[in-house]
Amino acid sequence: MYVARYHLTPRLRRGSTVLVLMGAVMLSCAALGPVVVLGADDIGAWNLFKAVGGIVVLGAFGVMAVRTGVNWHRAGAQNWDALVVDEHGVWLERGPELGTRAIRLPWRDIGAIELFAFHGRGIFRSRVGDRGIAITMVPGAERPTRPFMQPTGPGDVYRTIRGWDLDLTQVAYLASNYAPHVRVVDNTAPGHPDRRDLAVG
């Protein structure tokens, strides 16, 4: 069995701290909102509606930012499982990202496992140079539901390798023992015949 776990890297510590601080600022602004609104003269029904809506949205985003930042820190500090590979298949565990859930993929449903590099940019995308693991299912297998707000990417399901490391040789070794039909490809290796950067988005 191979288990990849989160660890509290400097990047993960910085990112989680920034998220918590951003969320705290948004929550503070949302808390001050009612004071500003109540202190305004003749604000009008429509402007009051917009102000209340803005306060609610700002507070919601603040809660989401704080919760995500705390989850990232907990994942690294408590060494959450990120990926488990054993005789039954590949288990993508629930991550700290918003909307992720644990996904169980038996060997019989897996066609290929690929390590790829991101080159897309965007608010919900990984940075250029980040890596990810993509899994392609065999024809007829049930496709997992894509996590909330995750952009379209390679394979039928993928996860960004952030806050944890992947030893693809261990994955390849277990696949060769339990599922010889599964292709395990490193698309980030220089000179690899199958090397290619897969777009995300």
Q: Is residue 201 part of a domain?
A: no
Residues 52 and 94 in one domain: no
Last residue of a domain, one of 77, 105, 132: 77
In this prediction, residue 201 carries a pLDDT of 37
- Listed as ranges, residues in the chain with pLDDT below 50 are 122-126, 195-201
Q: Is residue 197 part of a domain?
A: no
Q: Total structural domains in the chain?
A: 2
Residues 126 and 170 in one domain: yes
Residues 130 and 96 in one domain: yes
In this prediction, residue 13 carries a pLDDT of 85
Q: Is residue 23 part of a domain?
A: yes
Residues 7 and 71 in one domain: yes
Q: Which amino acid is at 51?
A: A
pLDDT in tens, 136-176: 999 988 888 776 556 666 788 888 888 888 999 999 999 99
Residues 107 and 141 in one domain: yes
Q: How many CB atoms lie within 10 A of CB 106?
A: 12
3-state DSSP call for residue 112?
A: strand
Report the distance separating Cα 144 and Cα 141, nearest Å: 9
Residues 57 and 110 in one domain: no
In this prediction, residue 124 carries a pLDDT of 42
The answer to whether 158 and 118 have CB atoms below 8 angstroms apart is no
- Of the CA atoms within 13 Å of residue 53, those in its CB half-sphere come to 6
Record the pTM. 0.74
In this prediction, residue 86 carries a pLDDT of 94
Q: How many CB atoms lie within 10 A of CB 153?
A: 22
Range(s) of the domain holding residue 43: 2-77
